[in-house]
């Protein structure tokens, strides 16, 4: 089996060179990151940088405690990773293999399929149908009955679709194996998931510091779950995959949730504006409470994205086989950057 690879678009430096502009003039609407610089990290990162000659404490206890305190959980219910991505790959190793079954819905975050392929598991993808891409709950419940892992992205990237909590609980109750909720965007919808983690022993919830907490470059995430599940992932974790400054920044950020809340509030405002502006251009925008919008652009979607990129604006395109060939996904960024997106879109549209 050829193992698919996760593909990012070219780097900011490469795009700047191709567009003949400065890297600082490139705006990334493709990564669902937060637009504002993280000035508050400078002092802390500088102090942490003075001890880079030593390894980080392999248990990452301060980070575990900070995450546990945030959710009212115990440190044993938390395991950190170098981003949610590392946790996804570790979970595949912990719970899957050649004789195992996994299920998810499609379209969704592509790494679940890659993680499954890496351990020889064939992933069953239950299709969510256009135009609304509502979660195919009945099929997911049926498939969950004999699955070793059910991957659920809530809210779902790239459609922004939210599964009703009752549907999620029905899937967890039906599941024979582990249900993994990738809650990368949970801060935007106000979901915590700690109560469910305490209630269900077959539930793992993955969180990231990359989105609302604006620490994508630090590479930190954590899993919440029953200690037995957490221990399985912990056993496979590289001893020190999170760098010391990253672990310290993440722990500090978790102690100041108000910063993330401010970003979420500002981005909600920006999202309303961007949704309306795209709507005025007669594009269909799927409902969203997160920091990205899926937009039906039509047959010229790829061409439009290429023309935007030539102007230093990077948006997310999708291969035709995902069923989203005529869609683009736009990260909601600052008011000024969103304005630039709309102005440039108007200029480049065929």
Q: For residue 318, what are its two tokens?
A: 């999708």
Tell whether residue 189 is a contact of ligand PLP (CB under 6 A): no
- Closest approach of Cβ 283 to ligand PLP, in Å? 22
Query: From CA 221, how far away is CA 124, in angstroms rounded?
Result: 26
Start-to-end C-alpha separation, the chain: 40
Of the residues 41, 77, 121, 208, which one makes contact with ligand PLP according to CB under 6 A:
208
> Cis ω on the peptide bond leading into residue 145 (within 30° of 0)?
no
Query: From CA 332, how far away is CA 311, in angstroms rounded?
Result: 18
- Closest approach of Cβ 151 to ligand PLP, in Å? 10
Query: From CA 230, how far away is CA 65, in angstroms rounded?
Result: 14
Closer CB to ligand PLP, residue 34 or residue 210? 210
Closer CB to ligand PLP, residue 182 or residue 277? 182
Q: Would you say 102 and 119 are in contact if contact means Cβ atoms under 8 Å apart? A: no
Question: Of 71-79, 208-216, 267-275, 313-321, which segment contacts ligand PLP by CB under 6 A?
Answer: 208-216
- Closest approach of Cβ 177 to ligand PLP, in Å? 20
Burial track 226-261 (b if 16+ CB lie within 10 A, e otherwise): beebbebbbeebeeebbbbbbbbbbbbbbeeeebbe
Total residues interacting with ligand PLP, rule: CB under 6 A: 13
| Element at 153 (helix H, strand E) | strand 149-153
Tell whether residue 157 is a contact of ligand PLP (CB under 6 A): yes
Give the contact letters, 256-295, x = binds to ligand PLP (CB under 6 A), - = no: ----------------------------------------
Of the residues 34, 77, 121, 210, which one makes contact with ligand PLP according to CB under 6 A:
210
- Closest approach of Cβ 108 to ligand PLP, in Å? 8
Of the residues 85, 162, 187, 196, which one makes contact with ligand PLP according to CB under 6 A:
85
Tell whether residue 216 is a contact of ligand PLP (CB under 6 A): yes
Q: Is 274 exposed, middle or buried (0-12, 13-18, 19+ CB in 10 A)?
A: buried
Closer CB to ligand PLP, residue 32 or residue 159? 32
Tell whether residue 104 is a contact of ligand PLP (CB under 6 A): no
Of the residues 150, 153, 163, 172, which one makes contact with ligand PLP according to CB under 6 A:
153
Question: Of 79-87, 128-136, 140-148, 309-317, which segment contacts ligand PLP by CB under 6 A?
Answer: 79-87
Residue 90's Cβ-side half-sphere holds a number of Cα atoms within 13 Å equal to 26
Tell whether residue 162 is a contact of ligand PLP (CB under 6 A): no
Q: Would you say 139 and 167 are in contact if contact means Cβ atoms under 8 Å apart? A: no
Closer CB to ligand PLP, residue 110 or residue 312? 110
Long-range pairs for 279-287: beta carbons < 8 A, 24 or more residues apart: 281/342, 281/345, 281/346, 281/349, 284/131, 286/132, 286/133, 286/159, 286/160, 286/161, 287/160
- Spatial CB neighbours of 130, under 8 Å, sequence gap ≥ 6: 323
Report the interface residues with ligand PLP, using CB under 6 A: 32, 83-85, 109, 153, 157, 182, 184, 208, 210, 216, 221
């Amino acid at each position: 089996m050829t193992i698919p690879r996760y593909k990012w678009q070219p780097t900011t430096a490469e795009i700047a060179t191709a567009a003949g502009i400065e890297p600082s003039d490139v705006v990334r609407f493709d990564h669902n990151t937060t637009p504002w610089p993280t000035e508050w990290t400078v002092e802390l990162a500088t102090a942490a940088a003075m001890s880079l000659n030593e390894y980080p404490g392999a248990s990452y206890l301060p980070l575990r405690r900070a995450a546990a305190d945030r959710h009212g959980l115990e440190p044993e219910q938390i395991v950190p990773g170098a981003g949610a991505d590392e946790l996804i790959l570790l979970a595949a190793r912990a719970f899957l293999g050649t004789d195992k079954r996994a299920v998810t819905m499609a379209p969704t975050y592509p790494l679940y399929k890659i993680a499954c392929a890496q351990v020889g598991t064939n992933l069953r993808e239950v299709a969510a149908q256009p135009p609304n891409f509502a979660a195919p709950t009945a099929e997911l419940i049926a498939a969950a009955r004999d699955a070793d892992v059910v991957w659920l992205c809530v809210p779902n990237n790239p459609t922004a679709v939210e599964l009703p909590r009752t549907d999620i609980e029905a899937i967890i109750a039906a599941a024979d194996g582990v249900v993994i909720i990738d809650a990368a965007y949970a801060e935007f919808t106000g979901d915590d998931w700690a109560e469910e983690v305490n209630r269900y022993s077959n539930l793992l919830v993955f969180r990231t510091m990359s989105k609302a907490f604006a620490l994508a470059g630090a590479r930190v995430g954590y899993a919440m779950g029953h200690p037995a599940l957490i221990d399985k992932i912990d056993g496979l974790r590289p001893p020190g995959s999170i760098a010391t400054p990253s672990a310290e920044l993440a722990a500090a950020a978790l102690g100041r949730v108000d910063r993330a809340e401010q970003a979420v509030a500002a981005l909600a405002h920006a999202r309303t504006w961007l949704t309306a502006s795209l709507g005025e251009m007669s594009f269909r925008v799927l409902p969203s409470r997160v920091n990205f919008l899926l937009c039906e652009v039509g047959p010229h979607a790829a061409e439009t994205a290429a023309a935007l990129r030539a102007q230093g604006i990077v948006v997310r395109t999708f291969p035709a086989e995902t069923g989203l060939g005529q869609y683009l996904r736009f990260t909601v960024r600052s008011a000024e950057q969103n304005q630039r997106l709309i102005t440039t879109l108007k200029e480049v549209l065929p």
